[in-house]
Structures are given as C-alpha cells and as structure tokens.
Chains A and B, each alone.
Chain A
Amino acid sequence: MLKLEDIKTFTLNVNGEKKSVILGPTDVLLDVLRDKLGLTGGKPGCENGDCGACTVLLDGVPIKSCLMLAVEAVDHEITTIEGLSNTVVQDAFVNEAGFQCGYCTSGFILNTFALLKEQPEADDAVITEWLEANICRCTGYDDIKNAVKLAQNNLR
C-alpha cells in the first residue's frame, strides 16, 4: 500500500517543458505521461515491452515507456509524439500513408526519428533492426518502409 511519505513532487522535462508531477515509486512512465500530463500519443499496446506502441525518446533514444518507472526519467529529456511537429519524418508518414488505424504510429515515428538522427545513412538491415521493435498490424509494413525511405531521402 502507498504511504504518504512515498509520494513526492518531481520535475519531468517533457517536450522541452518542465512539468511538476507527483510521483509514486511504482508509477510507470507511460501512465504518468498519459494520465497525469494528458500526453496520450504514446499508447498502451501490451504494457510488456513487446509492441512499441508506447515508445518515447529519452535523451533522443527510443525507449518503451511501459517498461520504465517515471522516477527513472527525472533529469532526462523526454520527447513524446506531441513534441514533434511538422518534422520530415511525420510528413513522410503522411505522404506515404505509413499508417492506417494509427495506433502504432507514434511509436514508429519516434523510432524512425531517432534512427535517422543517429544513423542518417542506415541501410535496410539497420532499419529493420530498429523497427522490428514495433508492431503494426494494419499496414503489412510496406508503406512504413516507404515512409522511412522518403524521410531518409528528404533529410539528405
């Protein structure tokens, strides 16, 4: 059971804004982003690290926010999908229709965004290595692949 002294106020750095939140020691980052900060772009798909729908960036590195405690993210830069706007990657996902239902999309976009920042010249093998962390059940991955390629080209 939670005891009062377990609960403390922390500052989370989300999308470049400092957010004051009360965190318990067992609060999961995904839940805190969604339920306390209203950032619902990251989705619970399995809450077990298997699907990538909950992906956010921690200091630019994609992580599965369902597997991280919110307190672990203190002192790091968190980027959620709401923190990206009109990026080349998002435009590419629009133009290549890299989504259908859209539930997996924020995870794929954030993962792609981080990948192309870190390895702009990533080849197919590297792209696969990164994106096989995420599941999409709608697209058969073809339009996602096209979107990643388009983004890669447009960033060159």
Chain B
Amino acid sequence: MDHFEVVGRSVIRKESPDKVSGRVKYLNDLSSPDMLHAALKTSTHAHARIASMDIKEAAASPGVRAVLTGKDFPQYLGLYLGDKTPLAINKVRYYGEPVAVVVADTKLAALRAAELIKVIYEPLPVVDSPSIALKEGAPILHEEMASYAHISAIMPEPGTNIANRTKIRKGDIKSGFEAADVVVADSFSFPPGDHVAMEPRAAITEILPNGQVIIHSTTQAPFVVRALMAEYFGIEPGKITVIAPPIGGGYGGKAGIQLEGLAYLLSKSVGGRKVKLVNTREQDLISSPGHIGFEAKVRLGATKEGVLTFAELSFLFDTGAYADYAVNISRAAAIACTGPYRIPNVSCDSLCVYTNHPFATAYRGFGHVELAFAIERSIDLLAEKLGMDAMELRLKNAVVAGDTTPTQSVLDHNTGNLPECIRRVGSLIEWDKGTVIKKEDGKIIAKGMGCLWKAPAMPTNSDGGAILTFNEDGSINLHCGAVEIGQGIKTGLAQLLAEKLQMSINQVHVVYDVNTTVAPHDWATAASRSLFMVGRAVLDAADDTIRQLCHTAAAVLRCPEEDLTVANGMIFVKDEPSISLKVREVALGYVYPDGTAVGGQVIGRGKYIARRLTSLDPLNGAGNPALEWTMGAQAIEVELDPRDCSYKITRAASVMDVGKVINPHIARGQVIGSIGMALSFAGKEGFLLNERGQVQNSDLRSYKILRYGEQPEYLIDFVETPQGDGPYGMRGLGEQGVIGIPGALANALSRAVGKPLNRLPLTPEEIWKSKEGKK
C-alpha cells in the first residue's frame, strides 16, 4: 500500500495554476453594472479644525448619488479603543484623513465630484513625535478620550496622549544595576511607514431588503469584521456575511476593520445598493493605517564576563492619530521586550502614543521588529564596550527552556533551540572569517547579527475550525476560516489533512474565498497562528472523519470499529487489509446491493481553542499570554563604499527554530519574503514628514521599496525542535523572519562605518551624516 508522505514535502501551492494565469479574483476584480462607486476626499492638513465644508457643487455633479461628511456618521469606532469616526468630524488629526466621501455611478464620476468638495481648514499645532506628545502642554489629540469605549486589556489615560501603557516589572532593577560591571544606554528610532501590499484595500457592501448585510472585503480577519460590525451598528451577527477573497498581500495591514464600516454606511445611504470603495495607492499609503513609528530608550547592563544583569526599557510607539491595533502592539512588545535573552531584572514601560501622523495598525512582527531593533543594537553596543564578540555575547545570554520571559512565564520544553540557531547562522554567514574586512578597492565588507523571538499576540480565546465534506470520488472539500494572503495556508492545511488521512493531496480540494456564514469560526489570519490553530482543527476534523467512516464500515464489514483504519482511499481491518471498503463507497452513505442505504454522509468537524492563555497583571505584567515561541537568529553582510556610504546587501542568513517544517519551499519563501520586506523597511522606508506633519512621499515613486536586483543572496536554514502541541510538531513562521533583520543590518553598517547607527531608515545619506558627525 502507498505511504503518503505529504508533510515535510514542497508540494506546489494549490492556487498555482490560477495565479499564473491571472484568473484568481481579488476583490477589486469583482464588478457588476448595478454597483455604485465611492471616492474619498482626504485632509490636506495633519492637524486642523474643519472650519467649513461645501459639498453643493459635488452633489450636483453628474452621476453622483450621495455626498457624505463626518456629521452623517457620528459613531466612534475602533478595534480595541473606539477613538475614530468613519469620517473626520470638526477636526482632522492626520494628513490624508478622510473627511468626505462621494457615491456615484462610476469611479470617474465619484473621483471628479470628490475634487469639487471645498474644505476650509484652520490649522492647529502639530504633534510631531511621541516624545513631544508626552511633553507638558502638548496639544491633546483626543480630548474626549474618557468617553471612548475600550476592551479591558488596554488602559488609555484620558487627559494625555497615551492610548495604552503596559508595565513589565521582573526582578529588581536596582540590584541588577549593582551587579553590572558595564552599562550601555542609548536611544533608537524610526518614522512611521506602510505595508505597501500590492493590492490596495477595498470593500464592497450591500444591504438586502431582508436586512442581510453582505460585505466583500480585502480582510485578513473576516470574523473580526463580522463581530465588530454587529457591535458598532447594532446588526444581528447572523445578518452579516463577510466574504474574504484571496488577498493581494496583507502583512498585518488588512487584519483589523478598515473600510468596511464606511462602505456599510455608504450602502445604507443609497438604499442598500451595492457600493464599492477602493483605495487609491496614495490613500492606501497614508489614509489607511500603516506601520507604526518608534522611539526607544534602552539601558542594558552585564558583568564583565558578559552575563546580562538588567534591562531598563522605555518604548514609545507612535500610533499616529488613532489607535487601531497599536494599543496591542505596544503591549505585545512589552511581553517580549528583552528579545530572546536571559535577563533576571527587567523594567519596561511600553506606551502607545497619539501623534498627528498617519495612524498605525498591525505590521508583520507586531511590535517585535521594533523592540528587536533597539535590543539588538544595544547588544552590539554592549559587546563593543565589553570587548567581546557580538555573537559570543548573544550565545552566552540566549534563552533556553526553563528560563522565564519578561512576563515571568516559564519557557517550556517546546521552546526552540536558540543557541543552535545562533551557531548555524554564524556558520552560514562565516562569522569566524571576520566581521569587518577591508577590500583592496577601499570598500568595506561588514557583518551584523540579530536574534528574534515571537509569540502570537492574540486574544486568550483565539480559535480555529474546520469542516470536511466529501465528493462522490472520495475526495474531500476542506472548509475553514483562514484567509489565503499569499502565505500558502490552504496548501499547508491540505498537506496536514492528506498526511493524516493518508491520501493524495490532489484529492483534497480547498475553497479560496472565506464566507463567514458558511465557514466555521476563526479568530483571524494573523499572528502566524493559522497553520497551528486551524491545523489542529483540521487534524481534529480528520479524526472525526475517520471515526464516522469506520463506524459505518464496521456495520457493513461486520467487524469491531476499533479494528478499522483509513488510508489510501480505503477503510480496512488493520491486521487483515483485504477486508475493506473504499472510502468513496462509505463517504456519502453506504448502499447495499439491494438498494438499502445506511450511515449517511460523513461530515468531519474539527475545532481548536488556544490552551491556557491568560491576561497580564496590570501592575507588573505577569501572565501567560503566549501560545508558543518561535526563536531564531539572523545575519546580514553588506559591502559599503566609504566615500559616499552607498552599500549593497550581499548576503542575508536566517536560521529559525520552527518545529517541523510542513512545506519547505513555502516556509523558505515566507522567511525570504520577510527578510526582503525587513531590508526594505530598514534600508529605505518611512514617511518623510514636513514640519506641518504632511507626508512628502505618498506614492510609490517617492516611497521607495526594495526592487528586483537589490535583494541579497539568501541563506536559509531551519532547526526543527518539535512543538509538542503543534500539528506534526510545527510552529508559526510567517512573520518572524522580519524581526532580527533591521538590527542585523544596522549592526553591520555601524561596524562598517565605525559609528553607531541607531536611526532607520539606513539610507546612504543618513549613514554619511552619522559618519561625518553631521546632524
């Protein structure tokens, strides 16, 4: 009998033929003649009172069906903190904030009318950075904060610009400081930026006469959208259907609730007709939420042998005008604040702070790219001061099972092997051959390293589900709530199922679109947890399927159910395989020769809910918020020309302990994609903001991202310490590859120029300024 070894093989993605033929339908590919089109009018100021708005001319423009402004929708909405109306009312808080919207027969008519809306602003003083936002006398951006609804896990501070504060107190900083022989202290920062998913965000909404609200959305979190839409607008959840087609890149940027609320209100304003709202690229960059900005202060101490004794950390997250996911990003960063190092005494204050910048949402790494940049730079500064090799210092302090995290939860035996990751990454990048090498032509080759850890930051009751149905040939349809965002989730889940049922993966059919009325509940396609949690649900559903198949077969074969097993499309007696039935003979009910039918169809049901997660203690942050920890080490090699500080990234190495690798090619692709994105972020990206808070680079010509040819040679490896509760021992890996890279790049370039580079992005100009001591 064939043995199907599906897990651990690089099977080709299920959607491959359709994606290379342009036949996958993304949201904006859906259109119909009955559809109306919306266009946004956005703010030209970062902080201003709206003195007046004149919509008369726009409303009279041909083809226009409605023009709506903030006053039409006075509800405050927000993922965790209700701080935002769908359109600004009275006041705008960031450049690009939607102030009005036009609904018209065509996209062109809507865009044209939006141009005709006249807004007069009275500019207000701009809050330009989180540290300025915390100063005495800084303008308060949300005077009404005290009245905002919020979830209990976050703690906004009315009367200030603080949307959330998470405190970590572990051990005793004072004694940690006294035990230290060497202490480094420095600041690190970068501006806000964007995910730049190639597919701009979009939503289509209609309201049927029976009250059913149908929302098509570019969302990674259709069930979050359903729940929040119900809550915001008082709609019965069962009357909301959210459909998420495959997404053209998410990276966290589509994980919350964004255009859906507005699209619903627009549909409502035109009698429930279907309305399509699509971001332009410019709006997607600045009007919709992007990547958070960051300012950190780190004090780190060690004994002269290089044993870390304390870390004192202050993280200021620049959430911009609204909080969205950011109040949880600052919290997630606190949970992991030290990076994967054993530090007995930790104090961390992680704040989510309002400014007049474009607002922030989840971004691949969810707070960890940020903290890791500050920590990994500090580790290098400390190594330098200690006169110790930076890799050696990392190895000496790398966490292992039995150590505790900043929240005082113990890393269990499932914890990955970080020292092994560090050693392997060191050999991939040839660390021992030298970390600074001067070439004959004057160029300098330099290497830098960065470590990472990450646990999913998610609600304690996050869950996944799977339903399996059969076709006449015994093949299976796999239904679940996980969204295909390019990570290959449908293929990964199909692999788990095929392995479990010992069948060909070609016999597993996946459904691209997620429809919340049809699919079982799923928290969200975020936090690198889908293959873990939905995977567990798929395995559970497979067990359920086997049970049902064997139950019916036992009656037909007249043998005990427990003697039967399923493989290779057959149900058979384990020790006498010739006594058997075909799965397809049983899956839709068994029919005897005389026509009598028994058993009925098999419908496999599976579920999973996160195990034993707890909330954090508000005073010291103690708790168990982490499902699993993925560990890793990464390294970058650059070649820098000291004359103009231009550089090429020559090699990027990454070794992560991800448990069992389910699909090596896809896993490798996720890590490489993460590295490419992180190099782009650290080397090029970020909004250029003028002193009035206006974004100067709001298109892809001026907002530079990594292009073909700029990518390094990628050296990727995995350590596979099994995750006991992960499907076949796997752990999440979709985001982690971004985390160590910015620190590693900054460490390499700092080494190359002999000056600390503590600000991103690391453009040649910025490096040159630091090198020459210019401001």
Q: Mark B19-60, 1 if CB is under 8 A from A, else 0.
A: 111111110110100000000000000000000000000000
Within A129-156, the residues touching B (CB, 8 Å) are 131-132, 134-145
Determine which of A80, A101, A145 lies in contact with B248 in the assembled complex, contact meaning CB atoms within 8 Å. A101
CB distance A101 to B22 under 8 Å? Answer: no
Within A56-102, the residues touching B (CB, 8 Å) are 80-82, 84-85, 90, 93-95, 97, 99-102
Q: Residues of B contacting A94 with CB < 8 Å? A: 12, 16-17, 20
CB distance A44 to B200 under 8 Å? Answer: yes
CB distance B16 to A138 under 8 Å? Answer: no
Bound Cα distance from A82 to B280, whole angstroms = 25
CB distance B22 to A100 under 8 Å? Answer: no
Whether A101 touches B21, Cβ cut-off 8 Å, given contacts A135-B705, A137-B677, is no
Whether A48 touches B20, Cβ cut-off 8 Å, given contacts A101-B248, A140-B673, is no
CB distance A97 to B21 under 8 Å? Answer: no
Counted as pairs of residues, one from A and one from B, with CB atoms less than 8 Å apart, the total is: 162
Q: Does B403 contact A (CB under 8 A)?
A: no
Shortest C-beta distance, B720 to chain A (Å), equals 21
Q: Residues of A contacting B743 with CB < 8 Å? A: none
CB distance B708 to A131 under 8 Å? Answer: yes
Bound Cα distance from A97 to B19, whole angstroms = 10
Q: Residues of B contacting A137 with CB < 8 Å? A: 195-198, 249, 251, 677, 705
Q: Residues of B contacting A103 with CB < 8 Å? A: 26, 197-199, 248-249
CB distance B709 to A48 under 8 Å? Answer: no
| B interface size (C-beta, 8 A) | 56
Bound Cα distance from A93 to B196, whole angstroms = 23
Shortest C-beta distance, B709 to chain A (Å), equals 3
CB distance B708 to A102 under 8 Å? Answer: no
Main secondary structure of the interface of A (DSSP, over half): loop
Q: Residues of A contacting B25 with CB < 8 Å? A: 40
CB distance B248 to A43 under 8 Å? Answer: yes
Within B643-693, the residues touching A (CB, 8 Å) are 665-666, 669-670, 672-677
Bound Cα distance from A145 to B712, whole angstroms = 12
CB distance A97 to B700 under 8 Å? Answer: no
Bound Cα distance from A106 to B20, whole angstroms = 6
CB distance A102 to B486 under 8 Å? Answer: yes
CB distance B699 to A46 under 8 Å? Answer: yes
Determine which of A1, A35, A104, A140 lies in contact with B677 in the assembled complex, contact meaning CB atoms within 8 Å. A140
Q: Mark A106-145, 1 if CB is under 8 A from B, else 0.
A: 1001000000000000001000100110111111111111
Q: Residues of A contacting B709 with CB < 8 Å? A: 124, 128, 131-132, 141
Q: Does A14 contact B (CB under 8 A)?
A: no
Q: Residues of B contacting A99 with CB < 8 Å? A: 19-20, 486
Q: Does A19 contact B (CB under 8 A)?
A: no
Shortest C-beta distance, B218 to chain A (Å), equals 10
Determine which of A48, A102, A109 lies in contact with B281 in the assembled complex, contact meaning CB atoms within 8 Å. A48
Look across to chain B and name the residue whose beta carbon is closest to the beta carbon of A50: B700
Q: Does B103 contact A (CB under 8 A)?
A: no
Whether A41 touches B23, Cβ cut-off 8 Å, given contacts A101-B249, A103-B198, A104-B198, is yes
Whether A101 touches B199, Cβ cut-off 8 Å, given contacts A35-B31, A47-B281, A84-B21, is yes
CB distance A97 to B281 under 8 Å? Answer: no
Q: Does A51 contact B (CB under 8 A)?
A: yes
Determine which of A40, A48, A144 lies in contact with B700 in the assembled complex, contact meaning CB atoms within 8 Å. A48
Whether A144 touches B708, Cβ cut-off 8 Å, given contacts A95-B12, A97-B669, A101-B486, is yes
Bound Cα distance from A99 to B16, whole angstroms = 9
CB distance A34 to B486 under 8 Å? Answer: no
Within B679-737, the residues touching A (CB, 8 Å) are 699-701, 705-711, 714
CB distance A101 to B699 under 8 Å? Answer: no
Shortest C-beta distance, A17 to chain B (Å), equals 16
Whether A138 touches B486, Cβ cut-off 8 Å, given contacts A41-B21, A101-B199, A128-B708, is yes
CB distance B699 to A43 under 8 Å? Answer: no
Bound Cα distance from A128 to B485, whole angstroms = 27
Bound Cα distance from A61 to B274, whole angstroms = 38
Q: Does B487 contact A (CB under 8 A)?
A: yes
Q: Does B488 contact A (CB under 8 A)?
A: yes
Bound Cα distance from A40 to B709, whole angstroms = 28
Shortest C-beta distance, A54 to chain B (Å), equals 11
Determine which of A40, A48, A97, A141 lies in contact with B13 in the assembled complex, contact meaning CB atoms within 8 Å. A97
CB distance B248 to A102 under 8 Å? Answer: yes
Q: Residues of A contacting B280 with CB < 8 Å? A: 47
Bound Cα distance from A82 to B676, whole angstroms = 29
Bound Cα distance from A137 to B706, whole angstroms = 8
Bound Cα distance from A43 to B199, whole angstroms = 8
Look across to chain A and name the residue whose beta carbon is closest to the beta carbon of B678: A140
Bound Cα distance from A42 to B522, whole angstroms = 31
Q: Residues of A contacting B666 with CB < 8 Å? A: 97
Q: Residues of B contacting A42 with CB < 8 Å? A: 22
Whether A81 touches B707, Cβ cut-off 8 Å, given contacts A94-B12, A100-B488, is no
Shortest C-beta distance, A41 to chain B (Å), equals 2
Q: Does A53 contact B (CB under 8 A)?
A: yes
CB distance A82 to B26 under 8 Å? Answer: no
Look across to chain A and name the residue whose beta carbon is closest to the beta carbon of B713: A142
Q: Mark B171-200, 1 if CB is under 8 A from A, else 0.
A: 000000000000000000000000111111
Q: Does B618 contact A (CB under 8 A)?
A: no
Q: Residues of B contacting A85 with CB < 8 Å? A: 21
CB distance A46 to B249 under 8 Å? Answer: no
Whether A100 touches B20, Cβ cut-off 8 Å, given contacts A44-B28, A46-B281, A128-B708, is no
Q: Residues of B contacting A109 with CB < 8 Å? A: 20
CB distance A40 to B673 under 8 Å? Answer: no
Chosen A-B contacts, 18 in total, with CB atoms closer than 8 Å, are: A43-B248, A45-B200, A47-B281, A48-B699, A51-B281, A82-B21, A94-B16, A97-B12, A99-B19, A103-B199, A106-B22, A128-B708, A132-B707, A132-B708, A135-B700, A138-B198, A140-B677, A140-B706
Q: Which 7 A-B pairs have the closest CB atoms?
A: A41-B22, A140-B676, A101-B486, A103-B248, A128-B709, A81-B22, A100-B486
**Which residues of A approach B to under 8 Å, CB–CB?**
1, 34-35, 39-51, 53, 80-82, 84-85, 90, 93-95, 97, 99-106, 109, 124, 128, 131-132, 134-145
